[in-house]
Amino acid sequence: MGYDKILPEIIRKNDNKILLVVLDGIGGFPHIITGKTELETAKKPNLDRLAEEGTCGTLIPILKGITPGSGPGHVGLFGYDPIETLIGRGTLECLGIGIDLSKEDVAIRGNFATIDEKNIVTDRRAGRISTEENMKLISILSEKIKEISGVKIYLQTVKEHRCAIVLKGAGLYPHITENDPQKEGLPLKPLEALNTNSEKTTLILKEFEKQVIEVLKTLDTKAKAILLRGISQLPEIPTFEEKYKLNAVCIAAYPMYKGISRLLGMDIAEGCETVEDEFEMLLELYSKYDFFFLHIKKTDSYGEDGNFQAKVKTIEDVDSKIWQLKKMKFESLAITGDHSTPSMLKGHSWHPVPLILKSPNSIPDDIK
């Protein structure tokens, strides 16, 4: 991105304010009966007015035909190259459950798996054990494996068979192959360092893997090992302040979005649960920041559940709160999503994402 070279030179700090509203997974798909998308179905007079006054279009979060995860989708929305700026899967998993990572920590996604006595993986998800069982196992493992060679080990339940593992200590590096054979019927793969820096961390992980198997052997559970995946560290990326000279704040209810924002050096507004809380927080913080990132999660969650009506209701809920923007002046307002999550497809999709851009100086188009 050529912008990165010239922006720091030409940006002048001013008093203008920017608001980015992300309706996660807002892009939809026509309903099989009505032929209308979630946005077309929702009654949303306020958003319609903003669309009429502003400039509209669609955006492609990563590349044409690519279905983004929310992590890369947001990295792109914040103006970082989502392909160059890779946030490792382990790091994303940890940010997603609200673990505060420091630069030296190594973050890993774990899958409880079933293995036989020859270390052959017979079930990569350990029969999808319940979250409750996962929590019990994590509490036993955390009690028994606290530290290896002076490096502290933290374990946390994510959901069902998934957990997160963080190594905390000096001189840790993440360039290590995974032990996940990717297929059942194959043995655990040996963890291997991909560079000399990562050799120490590899030895620690091998010991961790061994101790986990020993502890799980003694317990009545299908989980007999942990597949270690997405071994990674926080990426080195310029903060929002460095990149844009903007004093930014994140207003979100879900941990992952706060985690990514924290990684970019934004302040995090805590304590928001509902859309209403978020708009009230925006009003409260208005005088303190230049850039506001306001994130709405439910449009995506209901899209993933395939709940068309609930996604429509969430859009209507946002619409009923968005009039509050009248109380504030934004030089630039963008309302968009990080990817599409059509309820009809029950998941993220590659479809382009609708966008409204509005500024006192914007030239309206024909789109209403």
Structure tokens at 294: 């306001």
DSSP strands (E only) in 13-172 = 18-23, 55-59, 106-115, 121-123, 147-148, 151-159, 162-168
- For Zn ion, the closer of residues 70 and 349 by Cβ is 70
- For Zn ion, the closer of residues 226 and 296 by Cβ is 296
- For Zn ion, the closer of residues 70 and 156 by Cβ is 70
- Cα–Cα separations (whole angstroms), residue 111 to 9, 52, 99, 125, 159: 46, 48, 17, 6, 10
- For Zn ion, the closer of residues 38 and 338 by Cβ is 338
Q: How far is the CB of 95 from Zn ion (least distance, A)?
A: 13
Cα(340)–Cα(68) distance, integer angstroms: 9
- For Zn ion, the closer of residues 92 and 158 by Cβ is 92
SS3 114: strand
Cα(207)–Cα(292) distance, integer angstroms: 44
Q: How far is the CB of 61 from Zn ion (least distance, A)?
A: 9
Q: How far is the CB of 256 from Zn ion (least distance, A)?
A: 9
Chain contacts with Zn ion (rule: CB under 5 A): 24, 70, 300, 338
Q: How far is the CB of 112 from Zn ion (least distance, A)?
A: 26
- For Zn ion, the closer of residues 180 and 300 by Cβ is 300
Cα(99)–Cα(123) distance, integer angstroms: 28
Q: Within 57-128, where are the H helices?
A: 70-77, 89-96
Q: Are 124 and 180 in contact (CB under 8 A)?
A: yes
Q: How far is the CB of 70 from Zn ion (least distance, A)?
A: 3
Q: How far is the CB of 221 from Zn ion (least distance, A)?
A: 33
Q: Are 12 and 286 in contact (CB under 8 A)?
A: no
